[in-house]
Amino acid sequence: MRAIAVFHDKGAGFWPRLFGRPGFRHCFVALNDGRAWLIADPASRGTEISAEVAADYDLAAFYRDQGFTVLDCATAPQAQPYPVWFFTCVEAVKRMLGLRGWWIWTPYQLYRHLEKTHGQHLQTLQAEGTAATAPAAAQAGRPGHQ
């Protein structure tokens, strides 16, 4: 399953604003199931899950146009259960992507790990011939946590 991990500063709580790295204070994941992009955004007020747009839409380009950092990822199902750990946006994204690593607990550490292991940084790719019109939910304020 194709996935993108998205990193940004919007809606970060007190601790991420205080200690987080600028541009990497929050993260969420978008999964492409072949029919639609499914957005899973673990926010402090609760996890928001939505089907935003059709699977053929260039969602990564849309988020790049919003100034977010985007990494192309793949999911890897895990047979073993995950250990008990603090539930943060990073932990939620790790579990949805099938990643393990107790040492990955900030959005920036997750970004660095994904960049190293997946190697394709979508932020630097040029969108050729795609007009990134905003999905309806994004026009209504998503993905930013205002």
**Structure confidence by residue, pLDDT tens digits, 90-133:** 999 998 898 888 888 899 999 999 998 765 444 443 333 333 44
Indicate whether this model's pTM tops 0.75.
no
The CA angle 101-13-107, to the nearest 5 degrees, is 25
Q: What is the pLDDT confidence band of residue 10, given thresholds at 50, 70 and 90? A: confident
Q: State residue 124's pLDDT score.
A: 41
Q: State residue 123's pLDDT score.
A: 41
